[in-house]
Structure 1
Amino acid sequence: MLYGIAAATTALLLAAVLTALLRVPALRLGILDRRRRQRPVPLIGGVAVVLATGVVVIAGERTGVAPVGEGVGRLLVAAGAVALLGLVADLRRVKARVIVGGTTVAAASVVPYEETGVPAGLLAIGWIVFVAVAFKTLDHADSLAGTIGVVTAFGVGACAAAEVMDGHAVLLSVLAAALTGFLMHNWPPARVGLGACGSLFTGFVLAASAVTTRAGYGLGDSAGVLFPLTAVASADVLLVVLSRRLAGRPLLRGGPDHLAHRLRRLGLTPQGAIVLPAIGAFAGVLVAVLMHIGWTAQSGVFWVAAGTLVVVLLLLRVPVYGARRPVPTQAGRPLSTQAGGPPTQAGKPVSTQVGRSVSSQVSGHLRVRNG
């Protein structure tokens, strides 16, 4: 108990200090959020979270004060590989299939197949990848991914503690503390961003730990617990996919159509657009923990699913793409554009038609004046 408090405090302070120290080098090296054009925000917070979490957990293992076990060590190594892949994505553009493929390989190395079985293990791999990528998409607003990560880490940690899986409980409490230290610099307006490095790492650790905690339970019951733990991240993915499909936009094309973007358009402040999803995440996590320990019926997942669907359908009505530009017209007829040429009307260049019209008017005036 005392070590848990000391470890969490150390991780919080270490993450806060590392985030502050790494900010200036990141600015000088140009490791910036490419989506922000008005204010440079370095994407180095994820590195601080990964280092703080890893250092504290490894120190507890090496000193023998809090041995976390082989399973947690393997999970931490796989999560570190995913974080490294995310760091590369922060430094340069990486295709989505590369991120998904690398995360899939890492997820396949941490699933406990001896307890889940191969079919359920394959489903677990897909779910871990989905959650990791979903947390990456949650990093579209200051503090959102970090705040949701803290809430979810406490929920998964409570489930692990109920199963007497002390190593996972320690890992999750340290992760929650490290994210809290990072949030000191990431609260709107953010001075440092989490980036793909931190968001993929956070989602991967949370999902893999949750899968390990539920290993040995029935597939249906486990799905009923796992979904509420990540209801907000799932809602954001569903919202974006439906919105872009209905608008005829490519799924991988970015846009201001995520959860916090729509909440801002409804008039919420940047802080309010973080607090409201955090409350929703807390509600889902609470239902999941109560179902895991058997204090409430498994039917609670249907309430969470129904609430998630209602929120998605309501937010779909918020306009985010803007009106399309009107087609240029002349004399009530649309202008067509030839490939590589100027706009035309009835197959003739508009500039030629206008030039001839002006020339005829000038010639007419000259004939009148001369006559």
Structure 2
Amino acid sequence: MSVIGSGAALSAVVAGLPLSGPAAEALDTLGSPGLPIREYLLVGLTAAVVTFLLTGLVRVLAVRFGAVAWPRGRDVHVSPTPRWGGLAMFGGVLGGVLVAGQLPALRLAFAYSSEVTGTIVAAGLLVLVGALDDRFELDAITKLAGQATAAGVLVLYGVQWAVFWVPWGGGAYVSLSQEQSVLLTVLLSVALVNGMNFVDGLDGLAAGIGWVAASATWLFSLGLLYEAGNDPNAYTPALIAALLAGACFGFLPHNFNPARIFMGDSGSMLIGLMLAAATTTASGRIPFASTDGKDVVGLLAPLIVLAAVVCVPLLDLLMAVIRRTRAGTSPFSPDKMHLHHRLLEIGHSQRRAVLLIYLWSAVLAFGAVALAVTGANTVVLWGIGFAVLLAVLATAVPRLRSRRSADRVGMHH
């Protein structure tokens, strides 16, 4: 059995249409005709608008207080650019939270769980660390300590992994001990924070990937909410994802090439932490008791979506660590060999390189969501295959053109 049950069901969820059967009875009990789609959209829109409006003010403050990125040898930008965009994004998140707290349905997320509150507290702490780093260039150990502390705050507020399903040995549920749960949550959060930090190298790149990842997580979380019969206890993952998606979307107009402001570490670490919180809380809502072990895709859906939405930044992080370790340097030492740098080397412009990474992130993230929703049916697999082929061709176009030009020059000689 898949997590959602059918593609038609998800279509009804996304459209906000009335549902039928047991889910409708549960919704009637709550006095709601459907999932709170409009409330989520309002929260995301609020986060986007507030972020967009605050960014101009933050840009002025960054210049006044010296939080400016001066061009270095490994950088792509050529002129001094203000940082601290993460402060505006966090302001947008707070604006969305204030609105959510006044809405009839979403305010229940705060009554049933402390996870949203914990996410905001942890995010505020990490944004502060990032803002200091954007201004004073903190050392790697200090930043790592701040990241681990923020992850610890998540755990204290109940945001942690507790159960896994493993397919080998006939399939089994693995309940993590408190120590294992804490360790896994902290490691995952720190990895995501650093993954987003590493990938933030081109105008609009981290904000766009964050928006894609948060949107995919939001759709998946809506499916879990539908499966739970609109139980307010399951509102949290979609709410965190909607807040993050809105903040990223509102920041993009200021940050897309040519960028007028960078999000800095305050923004990239905010994205990583909130993605970790959204996916971790979503993992706790999967209905293990209602699955029979036959559909591995459905059972592993949270992990599949998690792996897909962060594949690009984590792959870049892993490649960077291996590359730098083999070269005998620190894994945190900067270089100019990230994925986005390689795209520039083969002939893509900055804008095209960013759009390509958006495309790959969307193919992976929304492909995983489609598999989790409908199962591995033929139509979905063909659709994902076609999307992957399109992404490969779009990535290879400059290299193919250069080879064709070289062949023509050789023929003339």
- 1:283 matched to 2:363? The reply is yes
Structure 2 match to 1:123: 184
Task: Tell me by how many angstroms 1:247 deviates.
Answer: 3.6
Answer whether contact 1:244 1:250 (CA < 8 A) is retained. Answer: yes
RMSD of Structure 2 on Structure 1 (CA): 2.9
CA distance 1:38–1:255, change in 2 (3 Å): same
Q: In structure 1, how many angstroms separate the alpha carbons of the residues matched to 2:222 and 2:303?
A: 19
Match of 2:65 among 29, 54, 63: 29
Q: In structure 2, how many angstroms separate the alpha carbons of the residues matched to 1:224 and 1:173?
A: 20
Match of 2:324 among 224, 244, 259: 244
Structure 2 match to 1:268: 348
CA distance 1:66–1:186, change in 2 (3 Å): same
CA distance 1:38–1:237, change in 2 (3 Å): same
CA distance 1:28–1:108, change in 2 (3 Å): closer
Task: Tell me by how many angstroms 1:63 deviates.
Answer: 6.2
Task: Tell me by how many angstroms 1:227 deviates.
Answer: 1.4
Task: Tell me by how many angstroms 1:124 deviates.
Answer: 2.5
Structure 2 match to 1:47: 87
Structure 1 match to 2:166: none
Task: Tell me by how many angstroms 1:168 deviates.
Answer: 2.7
What's the TM-score once normalised by structure 2's chain length? 0.67
Deviations 1:171-227 (A, max 9, x none): 322221221111101111111001000110111001121011112668993544421
Answer whether contact 2:193 2:270 (CA < 8 A) is retained. Answer: yes
Task: Tell me by how many angstroms 1:251 deviates.
Answer: 2.2
Deviations 1:277-322 (A, max 9, x none): 111111111233234446239xx9xx99xx9xxx9xx99xx9xxxx
**Partner amino acid, structure 2, of 1:191:** R
Q: In structure 2, how many angstroms separate the alpha carbons of the residues matched to 1:288 and 1:14?
A: 31
Task: Tell me by how many angstroms 1:65 deviates.
Answer: 6.2
- 1:163 matched to 2:224? The reply is yes
CA distance 1:64–1:73, change in 2 (3 Å): farther
Q: In structure 2, how many angstroms separate the alpha carbons of the residues matched to 1:21 and 1:106?
A: 26
Task: Tell me by how many angstroms 1:27 deviates.
Answer: 1.5
Answer whether contact 1:107 1:208 (CA < 8 A) is retained. Answer: no
**Partner amino acid, structure 1, of 2:45:** T
Structure 2 match to 1:94: 138
Structure 2 match to 1:333: none
Deviations 1:216-260 (A, max 9, x none): 668993544421121001111122123323444432221211111
Q: Which runs of 5+ in 1 are unaligned?
A: 319-371
Answer whether contact 2:283 2:303 (CA < 8 A) is retained. Answer: no
CA distance 1:184–1:201, change in 2 (3 Å): same
Q: In structure 1, how many angstroms separate the alpha carbons of the residues matched to 2:187 and 2:339?
A: 23
Identity %: 27
Structure 2 match to 1:368: none
Q: Which runs of 5+ in 2 are unaligned?
A: 1-36, 164-175, 226-233, 289-295, 400-413
Structure 2 match to 1:77: 121
Structure 1 match to 2:248: 179
Deviations 1:118-149 (A, max 9, x none): 32442232011100111011111111100000
- Describe the SS at the equivalent of 1:233: helix
Q: In structure 2, how many angstroms separate the alpha carbons of the residues matched to 1:193 and 1:53?
A: 17
**Partner amino acid, structure 1, of 2:369:** V
Answer whether contact 1:230 1:284 (CA < 8 A) is retained. Answer: no
- Describe the SS at the equivalent of 1:163: helix
- Describe the SS at the equivalent of 1:110: helix
Answer whether contact 2:161 2:283 (CA < 8 A) is retained. Answer: no
Answer whether contact 2:161 2:184 (CA < 8 A) is retained. Answer: no
Structure 1 match to 2:291: none
Task: Tell me by how many angstroms 1:62 deviates.
Answer: 5.1
Match of 2:150 among 106, 110, 119: 106
- Describe the SS at the equivalent of 2:375: coil
Q: In structure 2, how many angstroms separate the alpha carbons of the residues matched to 1:151 and 1:236?
A: 17
- Count the aligned residue pairs: 305
Q: In structure 2, how many angstroms separate the alpha carbons of the residues matched to 1:157 and 1:247?
A: 40
How is 1:179-328 mapped onto 2 (pairs within 5 angstroms)?
179-215=248-284, 221=300, 222-293=302-373, 295-296=375-376
What's the TM-score once normalised by structure 1's chain length? 0.74
CA distance 1:6–1:224, change in 2 (3 Å): closer
Which shows bigger deviation, 284-293 or 156-165? 284-293
Answer whether contact 1:159 1:289 (CA < 8 A) is retained. Answer: yes
Question: Which of the pair has more CA radius of gyration?
Answer: 1
Structure 2 match to 1:153: 214
